[in-house]
């Protein structure tokens, strides 16, 4: 039965590779600084506009700040958490948006490092397979499949530091059409068999992780106080697995602000981060009552013009995630310790 599901995955989504198991060729070696710390950026909902100049002031400001800070901190790579191209994704691998919204904006030398990409709902409005295909021609655009995993290793390659699991929350939960995206619960995946196979894959990845830190990254939030609020599908299905396998954090975009929420389940503490402020800013907290009591630890929607992004810093003793604004100022920092 499971073999049949794998065939369905290949046919329905025209995946760029076979059903994902691991992508060791994308594993990355830590670029340790003098303080023995490796640093990387996290950016979500950064995808410009479909009309000239194909970017926004916030996107340009965030790219500029990331570029400058990347030099100072000697960053290693970026996580890009979806809605890579507003409003309807790209159509082909030769779409000009790859240049006008990505290459020409995030052009700093320090950002010519790997970008680990996943798809958001606006990407699904276009052709996600074209974004996957673009990775075959770009040296820094790493997007091998709708779901994939990779690891950060110590510089001597003797020990993993972080396991990353990249997931497509649209395939899991729905939101394939624009009418599903806002102001109502998602109706569920367009193909339940495909979604179920990927849920099994996610659990397998969580179960086998042995790294001190485990980061699961998607587009839709598990918890959010903002416009879209919690994603019921993820609260019901992903959240229990995150706690069961002691994930360090779930990181997402979708809501256009910066949030840190925490929650305990069966004695296991979990961090939930929303990093979706790189292109548009939305101060809404209309779902504040829809998250667990006292879950929200930080919320920022800042200037309506200039956005923000995330900076992760990891060493042998801790992993910190900071929210940074367009002026390179630290707005907030959360510190996490290795998994038990």
Alpha helices (runs of H) in 209-290, residue ranges in sequence order:
232-244
DSSP state of 102: I
45 marked as binding residue? yes
First to last CA, the chain: 35
Closest-CA residue to 271 (of 327, 335, 176): 335
Alpha helices (runs of H) in the chain, residue ranges in sequence order:
2-13, 57-73, 97, 121-124, 128-134, 169-173, 192-208, 232-244
Q: 117 near 142, Cβ under 8 Å? A: yes
104 marked as binding residue? no
Q: 146 near 120, Cβ under 8 Å? A: no
Tell me the three-class secondary structure of 194-208, residue by residue. Answer: HHHHHHHHHHHHHHH
116 marked as binding residue? no
- Residues linked to residue 258 through DSSP beta bridges, in sequence order: 275, 300
83 marked as binding residue? yes
Neighbours of 139 (CB within 10 A): 9
145 marked as binding residue? no
Query: What are φ and ψ of residue 199, in 5° steps?
Result: -60, -40
Which residue ranges are tagged as binding site for Fe cation? 45, 83, 86, 121, 219, 254, 256
Which residue ranges are tagged as binding site? 45, 83, 86, 121, 219, 254, 256
């Amino acid at each position: 039965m499971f073999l049949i599901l794998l065939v369905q995955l290949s046919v329905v989504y025209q995946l760029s590779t076979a059903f994902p198991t691991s992508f060791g060729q994308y594993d990355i070696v830590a670029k340790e600084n003098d303080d023995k710390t490796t640093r990387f950026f996290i950016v979500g909902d950064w995808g410009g506009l479909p009309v000239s100049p194909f970017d926004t002031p916030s996107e340009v400001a965030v790219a500029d700040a990331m570029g400058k800070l990347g030099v100072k901190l000697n960053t290693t790579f970026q996580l890009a958490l979806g809605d890579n191209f507003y409003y309807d994704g790209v159509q082909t691998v030769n779409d000009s948006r790859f240049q006008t919204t990505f290459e020409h904006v995030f052009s700093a030398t320090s950002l010519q490092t790997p970008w680990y990409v996943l798809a958001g709902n606006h990407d699904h409005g276009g052709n996600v397979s074209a974004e996957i295909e673009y990775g075959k021609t770009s040296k820094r655009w790493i997007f091998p499949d709708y779901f994939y995993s990779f690891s950060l290793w110590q510089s001597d390659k003797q020990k993993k530091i972080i396991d990353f699991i990249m997931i497509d929350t649209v395939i899991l939960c729905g939101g394939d059409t624009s009418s599903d995206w806002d102001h109502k619960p998602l109706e569920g995946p367009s193909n339940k068999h495909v979604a179920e196979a990927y849920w099994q894959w996610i659990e397998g990845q969580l179960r086998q992780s042995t790294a001190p830190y485990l980061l699961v990254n998607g587009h839709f939030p598990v918890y959010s106080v903002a416009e879209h609020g919690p994603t019921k599908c993820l609260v019901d299905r992903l959240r229990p697995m995150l706690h069961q396998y002691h994930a360090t954090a779930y990181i997402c975009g979708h809501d256009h602000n910066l949030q840190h929420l925490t929650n305990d389940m069966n004695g296991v503490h979990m961090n939930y981060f929303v990093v979706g402020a790189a292109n548009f800013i939305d101060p809404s907290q209309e779902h504040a009552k829809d998250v667990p009591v006292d879950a929200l630890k930080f919320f920022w929607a800042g200037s309506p013009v200039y956005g923000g992004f995330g900076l992760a810093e990891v060493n042998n003793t801790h992993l910190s995630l900071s929210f940074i604004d367009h002026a390179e100022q630290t707005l907030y920092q959360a510190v996490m310790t290795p998994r038990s």
